Amino acid sequence: MNLIHEDLARAQIAARLGEAHDRETGHELARARRLSRKAEKAAMQARLALARVL
C-alpha cells in the first residue's frame, strides 16, 4: 500500500513540474512577443524620423 502512495506522489510531482515548465515557457514566449513588438515600434519610429529629415 505504501508503494502505491509513493507512486501517486511521484506522479503528482511530475505533473506539477510539467505544468510549471509549461507556464514558464508560455511566460518566455509572451516576453519575446512583447520585446519583438517594442523593437518593431522603435524601428518604425526611426524610419519616420529619417523620412522627416530627408
Domain ranges of the chain: 1-54
Examine the pLDDT at 41 and tell me if it is beyond 80.
yes
Report DSSP letters for 7-52, one per residue.
HHHHHHHHHHHHHHHHHHHHHHHHHHHHHHHHHHHHHHHHHHHHHH
What mean pLDDT is predicted for residues 25-52?
A: 92
Examine the pLDDT at 47 and tell me if it is beyond 60.
yes
pTM value > 0.75: no
Examine the pLDDT at 2 and tell me if it is beyond 80.
no
Give the pLDDT band of residue 37 (cuts 50, 70, 90).
very high
